[in-house]
Structure 1
Amino acid sequence: MNNAYKSDLLLVIVTLLASISWMFSKEAVLQMPPLLFMSMRFFLAGLLLSCVSYQALKGLARCAWLHAIRVGLIFGFAMCFWVTGLEKASHVGEAAFLASLGVVMVPIIARLLFKESIPRSTWLALPVALVGLGFLSLGAATAHALKIEASHILLLTSAAFFALYFNLNARVTNIRSFVKNNSSDAKASKIPVLALTTIVLLTTGVITGITSAFFEAWRPTLTNLHAELIGWILLSATIGTALRFLLQTYAQSLTANSHGVVIMVLEPLWTTLIAMLWFSETMNASQLLGCLLILLSLIINRLKAITQLMGIR
C-alpha cells in the first residue's frame, strides 16, 4: 500500500473515531457538568500526547509557544460552546451537522480577518447551508413554524469559533519560528504539528476548566465518580482525542496527495448513523432534509477537491 492510500485509510479511521467520540461525550455530559468533562478530557489527552511530543515541545522557542497557546485559546472557546450545545441537544446527529458548518465558514472568516478572497464554491454552498438550517429549525410537523433552539445557537457559535481556529491553525503551521538551540546557530523551523496539537489540547483543558470553575459545581461529580462515568472520560480522552489526533497527524504527514479534505466531510454522516444505532435516534422529514442539504453544502464547498479526486478538470 502506497503512502497516499495509507493516509486515506487512516483518515477514514480518524473520522470514525471523531464520530464515535460524539457518543462518548454525550454519555458523559448526561452524568456530569459538560465543561468539567471537557477539561478532564482535553487535559488528559494533552498529557498523553506530550509523552510522544516531549522532545519537540522541549525544543520550541517562546514565540512558538505563544502562537500555539493563542490557537489553543480559540479552540478552547469553541469547545466550550460545542459541549454546552451537545448537552442541550436532543439529537446528536443534528448537532453534528450544525457543528460541521464551521468548514463552510472558514473562507468567510479568512475574508473578514485576513482579506482573502472567498472561493466561488463557498458562495454556492452558503445558500444551500442556510436552507438546510431553515429545515432543521422547523418545529413539529403540525406546527410548521421556525423554532430556534438554544442548542442550535450554541453549536453554530462553536462552528464560527472552529472556523477561526482552522484559519489560525493553518497560519501557525506555515510560519517559521526559531527553535531553541544552546549554540549560536539557532535555525528557523516550522512548529511541529504534533507539538502544536499537544499545546492546543492542554490549553483547551485549562480554558474549559477555568470556565467550569466559574459556572459549574464540581463537588457532586468528584464525590460520586463511578466506573461507568470514568470509562466515558477515559474513552473520550484516549480514543476520541489523543489517538484520533495522533493518527490524523501521522496520516497527514505521509503524503500531500491525500484525499483527506473530502474524507473529513463524512464525519457528520458517520455520527448520525452511529447515533441511530447507539441512541436509537430517528429523524423527521424536515430534519432529514436539513441534514442532507448541509451535507450537500459541505460537498459543494469542497467541490474543487472532489473534482480533482474524480479526475475532472
Structure 2
Amino acid sequence: MMNVKAMRGELYLLCATLLAGVGWIASKLVVLEMPGPVFIGVRFTIASLLLLPFCFRHIRQLTIKQIMSLCGVGLLLSVSLQVWVYAVSVTETLSEGAFIMSLAMIIAPFVSWVIFRVKPNRAFWLSFPIAIIGMLLLTLTNGWHLEPSQIYFLLASMLLSLHFVMNKRAITNIKPIASICIQLFVVGISGLVFASSTVQPEFEITQTLVFWFVVSAVVATSIRYLLQTVGQHSVNMEVAALIMILEPVWTLLLSVGVLGESVELQKLIGGAVIIASLCCYIKWSRKNKALD
C-alpha cells in the first residue's frame, strides 16, 4: 500500500515539474505582451485564491505570529519573482535561465551558513565546485562576459535560496498548502502594489495573452503547487528533490520545441554539469545522514 502511495506521489511530482516547465514558456509568452510586475501581481493573486478552498480550514487555525512570519517570507519570494520575471522578459535563452535558477538548491546551504552560522555539510563542499563549473560553461560562451539576463537569473536564484532558508524556519508546524497559499497571495498583492506605484507600459488584452495567462496562473501555478504539495507528503525528501531537478530539463525541451530556441553544445554541457552537481549534492547529503 505504501509503495502505491509513494508511486502516486512520485507521479504527482513528475507532473508538477512538467507544469513548472510549461510555466516558463507561458511566462515568456505573457511578458512579451504584458508588463512583468502586472503579470506577477495578477497571476499569483488568482493562483492563491484558487488554492484557498483547499486550505482555508488550516489557515484559520494559524496564529497571528505564524501568519506574519509567512507574510515576511512571501515578500522575500515576491522580490525574487520580480527579478526573475524581468530576467525572463529580457532573455533570449529561457532554458539557460532555468538551469541557473536550479542552482538555488546548492546556494541555500551557503546562505544558511552566512545568516545562521550553520556550517554546510561535506556534500555541499564537494558539489559546489561542480556547480560553479556548470555555471561557467553555461554563461561564458562569449568569453568572460555575462549577459544582463544571466546576472538577473543568478540574483533571482540567490534570492530564492534565501527564501528556501527562511521558509524552512517559518513553516514549522504549518501545513505546506496553507503556507503556499498565503505566500502566493502576498506575492500577488505586493506585485499589484509595485505595479500600481510604478509607471507601466500600456498593453492590449488579446486572446493569445489570455490563453497563456490562464495556463500560467491556473495550470503552472495553482495546479502545479497543489500537485507538488500532495506529492511531497508521500515521497522521500531526497527522491522528491531528484524529481524536482527535472524542471530545467522540461524547460529546455519545451523552449526548443515551442519557442524554437537553439542551444549551443557548451550550454548543454553546462546544464548537464549543473544537474550532475545537484544529483551529487542530494546523493552525498543522504549518505552523510546515513552515517550520522
**When the two structures are superposed, what TM-score results if normalisation uses the length of structure 2?**
0.92
> Pairwise mapping of residues 93-108 of structure 1 onto structure 2 (< 5 A)?
93-108=95-110
Distance change (3 Å), C-alpha of 1:114 and 1:245:
same
Distance change (3 Å), C-alpha of 1:119 and 1:258:
closer
**Residues 238 and 282 in structure 2, CA contact (< 8 A), matched pair in contact too:** no
**Residues 5 and 258 in structure 1, CA contact (< 8 A), matched pair in contact too:** no
Query: Is 1:250 aligned to 2:233, yes or no?
Result: no
Match of 2:31 among 22, 29, 35: 29
Distance change (3 Å), C-alpha of 1:304 and 1:216:
farther
**Residues 106 and 164 in structure 1, CA contact (< 8 A), matched pair in contact too:** yes
* Distance apart, 1:255 and its partner CA: 4.7
Equivalent in the alignment of 1:85: 87
Aligned residue type for 1:161: L
2:171 aligns to what SS in structure 1? helix
User: In 1, distance between residues paired with 2:101 and 2:154?
Assistant: 6
**Residues 40 and 191 in structure 2, CA contact (< 8 A), matched pair in contact too:** yes
> Pairwise mapping of residues 8-157 of structure 1 onto structure 2 (< 5 A)?
8-140=10-142, 145-157=143-155
* Distance apart, 1:159 and its partner CA: 0.5
Equivalent in the alignment of 2:265: 285
Identity of aligned residues (%): 28
Name the structure where helix makes up a greater proportion of residues.
2
* Distance apart, 1:257 and its partner CA: 6.6
Query: Is 1:205 aligned to 2:188, yes or no?
Result: yes
How many residues are aligned here?
A: 289
User: In 2, distance between residues paired with 1:58 and 1:235?
Assistant: 29
User: In 1, distance between residues paired with 2:228 and 2:65?
Assistant: 25
Distance change (3 Å), C-alpha of 1:125 and 1:214:
farther
Worse overlay, 13-22 or 288-297: 288-297
**Residues 47 and 222 in structure 2, CA contact (< 8 A), matched pair in contact too:** yes
* Distance apart, 1:72 and its partner CA: 0.4
Please give the per-residue CA displacement for 1:30-86, whole angstroms capped at 9, x wherever unaligned. 111111111111010011111221122222221111011011011111101111111
* Distance apart, 1:21 and its partner CA: 0.7
Equivalent in the alignment of 1:179: none
User: In 2, distance between residues paired with 1:127 and 1:11?
Assistant: 28
User: In 2, distance between residues paired with 1:255 and 1:149?
Assistant: 38
Equivalent in the alignment of 1:192: 175
User: In 1, distance between residues paired with 2:245 and 2:78?
Assistant: 22
1:250 aligns to what SS in structure 2? helix
**Residues 40 and 233 in structure 1, CA contact (< 8 A), matched pair in contact too:** no
User: In 1, distance between residues paired with 2:163 and 2:258?
Assistant: 30
**Residues 121 and 285 in structure 2, CA contact (< 8 A), matched pair in contact too:** no
1:244 aligns to what SS in structure 2? helix
1:2 aligns to what SS in structure 2? helix
User: In 1, distance between residues paired with 2:264 and 2:208?
Assistant: 32
* Distance apart, 1:16 and its partner CA: 0.6
Worse overlay, 293-302 or 92-101: 293-302
**Residues 177 and 229 in structure 2, CA contact (< 8 A), matched pair in contact too:** yes
**Residues 22 and 251 in structure 2, CA contact (< 8 A), matched pair in contact too:** yes
2:245 aligns to what SS in structure 1? helix
**Residues 46 and 198 in structure 1, CA contact (< 8 A), matched pair in contact too:** yes
Distance change (3 Å), C-alpha of 1:58 and 1:75:
same
Aligned residue type for 1:208: G
Larger Rg: 1
User: In 2, distance between residues paired with 1:122 and 1:256?
Assistant: 20
* Distance apart, 1:216 and its partner CA: 4.0
